[in-house]
Amino acid sequence: MTIKVGDRVPDGTLTEFFETESGGCSLGPNNFQVADLVKGKTIAVFAVPGAFTPTCSAKHLPGYVQQAQALKDKGVDEIWCVSVNDAFVMGAWGREQQTAGKVRMLADGSAHWTRALGLELDLDARGMGVRSQRYSALLQDGVVKQLNIEAPGKFEVSDAATLLSQI
């Protein structure tokens, strides 16, 4: 069953790679519980089928990096990029895309959270295994307020400008 507007996001574990130790987070991958991360916050989350892939690297992630301040000006506390990749890959992609201080690069390495959302994408036939559908959402205290799920192979409704216009 796919999550929808009005639903509470399921709990799960997402992993973020840290370049330096700070704020109680050690160097390297750190696990976070979704329930703790969303508590009392407004979060713009978007997911991509894969780090370093063409549309994701050229359009999707850069749009959120560019619109980070505008989203924060509209009350968004954090912006998350979620992908079914490991934390090392997400950390490297974040460095390349200069996301520090703008977008949290969160790995769902085994697609557990993505499956719990009902937003998995089977790309096994293309040699990529289970991935995430491309989508964006606005979460308020863990409840889905906006949800934009792309049709397969499309990039039309999950971009930063669309989510910004919905806030």
Region 122-147: what's the mean pLDDT? Answer: 88
The Cα 12–Cα 32 span in angstroms is: 8
Residues 32 and 103 sit within 8 Å (Cβ to Cβ) = no
Residue 26 has pLDDT above 90, yes or no: no
The pLDDT value given to residue 28: 75
- Residues 154 and 13: beta-carbon distance below 8 Å: no
Residue 130 phi, psi dihedral angles, 5° rounding: -85, 130
What are the tens digits of pLDDT across the range 43-76? 999 999 988 887 877 789 999 999 999 999 999 9
Domain residue spans in the chain?
7-165
Token pair belonging to 10? 């399921």
DSSP 44-101: EEEEES-TT-HHIIIIIHHHHHHTHHHHHHTT--EEEEEESS-HHHHHHHHHHHT-TT
Measure the CA–CA gap between 119 and 132, rounded to whole angstroms: 6
Cβ proximity of 38 and 55 under 8 Å: no
| Mean pLDDT value across residues 131-146 | 96
The residue that leads in pLDDT, 28 or 13, is 13
Kindly list the catalytic residues: 56
Q: Which CATH number applies to 7-165?
A: 3.40.30.10
Please check whether residue 118 is in contact with residue 135, taking contact to mean a CB–CB distance below 8 angstroms. Answer: no
Predicted local confidence at residue 121, as pLDDT: 85
Nearest to 144 by CA among 70, 45, 1, 65: 45
